[in-house]
């Protein structure tokens, strides 16, 4: 009976932020047999990942999905393929835009070649709100922003366009490839997902670390920009629903939290209050970010997935800061 109910699952980028949390959630069901693949250019084999991979239904492959040999290790016939692997992060995009385009594009193309021929039953691709970020140069977009807005690129000399461009290419490739081969897929666009183990380049750990080190006043870049932050557990829940709900097939679906849109300055104030740190705030202009306001329209997620964010920003900050407090004391990110 257990063999009948087993579900074979692949997660690319499985050692990364969302990938790890997705794998952790899925691993609680012993019927899920997980294979995680990651090249560890950004992820780390920390104690949490080590504990996860010691579970009997989790296997980790350290490999690069731009390498053809990797697919021989992966095998075939997965029930679910979650494609989360990519080069991300503003600093990486700024410093290595050519690598962002090469890796993100080639990884998706090679995964598609494998997937449509022998890889699995359904593919879920993790895209981003950056896919429509540059469209604002041409059109006034509604905020909250739905999935069906035009996608556009401009100022191709700006390194930041490389990330949006790679995600637009991947959305296009998956849509066309899977349509030709009649393979089910879903594209999800994450909006400002945060939580424990997100690394040290995200605005929340950056603000927290500088506050702990005594920066006073605390410098807050893009202070008047508005964002809607989504705790990682909510993002994972929606991701699994998008994979397993047939009504999500061939759909592009926003994932985020539209209930508590805040300015970055308000985020900093909440963070300081949760951390019980009393310092002033020094608001500064935007730091290489053309989007002043970003908030997802979640109508489609609510309709197709019955999705509703559960973790408030205050609760999410408590959980996130608690995780980072021990790490900053130990030295990472310093």
Q: Which domain holds residue 119?
A: 2-198+229-258+292-310
Q: Give the pLDDT mean for 273-295.
A: 89
> Band of the pLDDT at 333, cuts 50, 70, 90?
very low
- d(CA 315, CA 64) in angstroms, rounded, equals 36
Which of 40-44, 72-76, 96-100, 261-265 is predicted with the least confidence, judged by mean pLDDT? 40-44
DSSP state of 194: E
Phi, psi of 139 (to 5 degrees): -130, 150
Q: In this structure, is residue 20 part of a structural domain? A: yes
The total number of structural domains in the chain stands at 1
Q: In this structure, is residue 283 part of a structural domain? A: no
Given the structure tokens 């063999």, which residue do they identify? Answer: 3
- pLDDT score for 2: 43
* Statement: the pTM of the whole predicted model exceeds 0.75: yes
Q: In this structure, is residue 223 part of a structural domain? A: no
Q: In this structure, is residue 323 part of a structural domain? A: no
What share of the chain has pLDDT > 90, as a percent?
83
Q: In this structure, is residue 330 part of a structural domain? A: no
The three-point CA angle 252-62-94 to 5° equals 60
Q: In this structure, is residue 205 part of a structural domain? A: no
CB 114, CB 74: distance < 8 Å: yes
pLDDT averaged over the chain? Answer: 93
Instruction: Please name every residue paired with 254 in a beta bridge, in sequence order, or none if there are none.
Output: 189
Q: In this structure, is residue 305 part of a structural domain? A: yes
User: Which residue, among 111, 120, 108, 113, has the nearest Cα to 171 in the 3D structure?
Assistant: 108
Structure tokens at 77: 């016939």
Instruction: Please name every residue paired with 120 in a beta bridge, in sequence order, or none if there are none.
Output: 78
- pLDDT score for 158: 86
Q: In this structure, is residue 12 part of a structural domain? A: yes
Q: Is the dihedral of CA 12, 14, 16, 18 positive or negative?
A: positive
- pLDDT score for 331: 57
Structure tokens at 21: 């949390």
CATH number for position 90: 3.40.50.720
- pLDDT score for 44: 86
């Amino acid at each position: 009976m257990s063999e009948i109910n087993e579900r074979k699952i692949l997660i690319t980028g499985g050692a990364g932020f969302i990938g790890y949390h997705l794998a952790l959630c899925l691993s609680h069901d012993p019927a899920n047999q997980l294979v995680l693949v990651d090249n560890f250019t950004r992820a780390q084999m920390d104690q949490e990942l080590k504990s996860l991979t010691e579970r009997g239904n989790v296997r980790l492959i350290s490999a690069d999905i731009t390498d053809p040999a990797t697919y021989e290790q992966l095998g075939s016939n997965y029930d679910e393929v979650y494609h989360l692997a990519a080069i991300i992060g503003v600093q990486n995009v700024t410093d290595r835009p050519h690598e962002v385009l090469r890796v993100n594009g080639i990884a998706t193309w090679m995964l598609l070649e494998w997937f449509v021929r022998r890889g699995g039953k359904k593919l879920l691709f993790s895209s981003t709100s950056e896919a429509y970020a540059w469209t604002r140069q041409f059109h006034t977009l509604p905020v909250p922003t739905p999935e069906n807005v035009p996608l556009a690129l401009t100022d191709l000399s700006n390194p930041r366009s490389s990330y949006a461009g790679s995600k637009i290419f991947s959305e296009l490739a998956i849509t066309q490839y899977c349509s030709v081969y009649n393979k089910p897929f879903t594209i999800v666009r994450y909006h400002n997902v945060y939580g424990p183990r997100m690394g040290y380049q995200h605005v929340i750990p950056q603000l927290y670390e500088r506050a702990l080190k005594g920066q006073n006043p605390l410098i807050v870049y893009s202070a008047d920009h508005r964002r809607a932050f989504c705790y990682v557990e909510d993002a994972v829940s929606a991701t699994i629903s998008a994979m397993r709900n047939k009504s999500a097939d061939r759909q592009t679906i926003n994932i985020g939290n539209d209930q508590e849109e805040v300015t970055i300055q308000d985020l900093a104030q909440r963070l300081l209050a949760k951390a019980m740190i009393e310092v002033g705030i020094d608001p500064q202009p935007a730091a290489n970010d053309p989007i002043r306001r970003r908030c997802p329209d979640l109508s489609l997620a609510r309709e197709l997935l019955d999705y509703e964010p559960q973790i408030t920003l205050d609760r999410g900050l408590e959980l996130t800061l608690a995780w980072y407090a021990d790490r900053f004391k130990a030295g990472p990110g310093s």
